Structures are given as structure tokens and as C-alpha cells.
Amino acid sequence: MLDECDQKKFPEWQAHYYFMQLIDGLEYLHSRGIIHKDIKPANLLLTIDQVLKITDLGVSEELDQFAKDDTITTSQGSPVSQSPEIAAGDDSFSGYKVDIWSCGVTLYRMCTTQYPFDGETICKLYDNIAKAEYTVPDHLSDKAKVLIKGMLAKSANDRLTIADIRRTEWFRQQKPMEDDNVLMPTTADNRAFAMTMFPNLKALIMTANGQSPAYESDNEVVLGATECYNVSDGEPVPTDSYDVNVNNSVRPGNEASHSAAQPTSRKKQKKCSIS
């Protein structure tokens, strides 16, 4: 949603609504001894009724039930969301405070058009994170600035806990809904709903004789038994113009090797763009 909308950010009241749900979810994970380690906007999904879901626990870590505290020694999250202690190369760090930092980065991104830290390379990015020097845009309210600064404190000991976050004025205030909300894309015509075909995926689409078909570009493939769209004009191709087994992909000029899967008319054969 952030990438698709024109503003590239949420209005503060809408970010507040999502952030409250994020803290609820994170508190539950921590209560179960789970450190997410990769909180970021891309790992937060929304249902149609605006319920936020925390996803992608692929790098998360479950604390031992007999552990004395939340100390962890590894982190495999996205570089832009890493905390200063990780960027500085510390051997161990508080797992809960790592997630709090990532929530601060996420809230910053929700309310602005960028992340608080940047760098031309990973090393420069980590140097900037380790310094914990950033600026908060003036358009944010003072209460929001206080919360963000509390979550992005350089020292983990000075960083807010979830209980501290709940006590901040920005979190506790009731923000009225306004008319400038960013709407969820709802039509298949929106690029957010389009499928993407990676270049190496074409190797999985083989012809009947086991040879990969020759494509004119990496994102074009001829499919059958489905509604297809002309690459040039976007007009739908009638599904009855093809009789193709998906396991036996057809390409122009190779119809002879597909006696059981030939188009009814060569003129009707068009390309489907998977993007």
C-alpha cells in the first residue's frame, strides 16, 4: 500500500490505527517467548476489514523456557531495520528491544516517505544505524516524535518497552478518522495484484520434448485454457482460441511438436504477459 499510493505514506491517524495493532501482536509474540527479528512494513499484511497481521516468522527465534532473560546472539532480519547494537557487531543483545527498534523504524516509514537510516552500501548503512543519528520530519506531531525517539534510542537500556509505548500520549490518544486515508487496492487491474514471473522461472516451463521454449523476453509466455491478454493492446483473448495443456507450453513456430495442443487458429494465438 505504501508503494502504491501517491503520498508514499499514511496520514498519522491511519498509521496510529495500524501501529496499535502491531503492538498488540508483538506483545502476544513476546508473551510466548518469540522474538520476531524482522518487523517491517513488508511483513505486515492487512485483511479487507483492516485487521493487521504480523507475518514471515522465518528468522524468528523462540527463547528457551528456562532462559533468564531475552538475550539472543543472532539476527537475520532486513538490514534497514537492524538496531544499533546489531549494526555495531555486539555479540549479544536484548531480543525484545531489537523488535521495539524495528517497530520504531516501521512507524517512521509509515508516517514518512523514507526510512530513518540509509546508506549506499550495507557497511555505510550499518555505520549510520550504529550512530543512531536521524531527523524526524516536521509534519509529524510532537507526540509522535516523542514516541519514535523513544523507540529509536541508541542504547537498548534507554529504549522503550511495550509497556512504555502503551503509556505514551500518542499511543493512548483517540485519533479521529479523516478523509485522507490511503485506500487498499481493490481491483485486479491494480499493479499490486499483478503476478510477477522471475526470469529463471521460465526454466520450469518446458516444452513436450523437455526443451525450454525460446522466449522473446523474460516476462512473456504463451499459456492456454485461460483468459490471456495481448501484450501490445491488453485485449483479452477468448479462452476457446486455445486448447493447450499447461504442462505442454506452446510458443510461436513450435506448434508441430504439440499435436495434442495446437491453437484452433494461428491468427488467434497471442502472448500472455505475466508481470
What CA–CA distances, in Å, run from 53 to 111, 181, 193? Answer: 19, 19, 18
Neighbours of 212 (CB within 10 A): 13
Rounded-to-integer distance, Cα 142 and Cα 169, Å: 10
Q: Which of 3, 6, 38, 64 is catalytic?
A: 38
Among left, alpha and beta (phi > 0; psi -120 to 50; other), residue 234 is left
CB 202 within 8 A of CB 215: yes
**Residues paired with 93 in a beta bridge:** 72
* Known catalytic membership, residue 38: yes
> Of 246, 240, 249, which is closest to residue 268 (Cα–Cα)?
240
Query: What is the residue whose three cell numbers read 517497530?
Result: 103
Pairing of strands 220-221, 272-273: antiparallel
What CA–CA distances, in Å, run from 57 to 34, 62, 63, 89, 197? Answer: 9, 10, 14, 23, 24
Residues acting as catalytic residues: 38
